[in-house]
Amino acid sequence: MSMKFYMTPGSCSTGIHVLLEECGLVFEAYIVDLLAGDQYKADYLAINPKGSIPSLVLDDGTALTEFSAIAWWLARRYPKRQLLPESLAEEVRVLGIMNYAVHTLHTQGFARLFTTERFAPSSSDHAAVKALGRQIIDQGFAIVDRELVGRQYLADHFTIADAALFYVEFWAVRIDIRLPDNCAAHYRQMLTRPAVRQVLAEEGYASALR
């Protein structure tokens, strides 16, 4: 029995998809169509009652949910892949940046651009919601950019934080938000990794590799 990975191409689950490939794991992929509301159907809610993606169902049937939890589990379960730094101080730093990418850049920033109506039912407020989202995004990338000074990755090698940062960088590039210089260099570096290239091709974004 192989693990089952529930994902949506081009979403935050792309980062977990990259980590699964980096670990060289065998898994079954199932696409959850968010626009069609698949995440709210009974069969998926039985796996993940939160109705969110990604979800990773292990061989024993245990369902892991939330980007940060799945990424940390992969890092701890497959230590030879070195997805976390060796020192405690650097591990905590990496976890902090990963959570910032997921919970601030994504959940507070990009979510206001992609799902504006969730933040303001009235269309008259949508412009203000999007403006705040863009402000959060710009400020967030500026903060992460400083973490990348003199580095190719967020630590001295690729870690789970880089997978999280990559998916929000990918979103920025897709909607023509200019990345600050160090983040742009990080994004280009990520595009050279075989696992990233494989994932983007499999998810239908081969054009991003050109």
Where are the chain's structural domains?
3-81, 88-193
Which one of 3.30.70.980, 3.30.70.1520, 2.60.40.10, 3.40.30.10 gives the CATH number of domain 3-81?
A: 3.40.30.10
Per-residue pLDDT of the chain (210 residues; tens, 9 = 90+): 689 999 999 999 999 999 999 999 999 999 999 999 999 999 999 999 999 999 999 999 999 999 999 999 999 999 999 999 999 999 999 999 999 999 999 999 999 999 999 999 999 999 999 999 999 999 999 999 999 999 999 999 999 999 999 999 999 999 999 999 999 999 999 999 999 999 999 999 988 887
**How far is residue 174 from each of residues 19, 116, 164, 167, 207, measured CA to CA in Å?**
21, 18, 16, 10, 11
Asked if 59 and 3 count as a contact pair (C-beta separation under 8 A), the reply is yes
**128 vs 133: CA distance, rounded Å:** 9
Show contacts of 44-48: CB within 8 Å, 24+ apart: 44/6, 47/6, 48/6
* Sheet (strand 3-7) strand order: 27-31, 3-7, 55-57, 63-65
User: What's the whole-model pTM score?
Assistant: 0.96
Task: Please identify, in words, the CATH class of the domain defined by 88-193.
Answer: mainly alpha
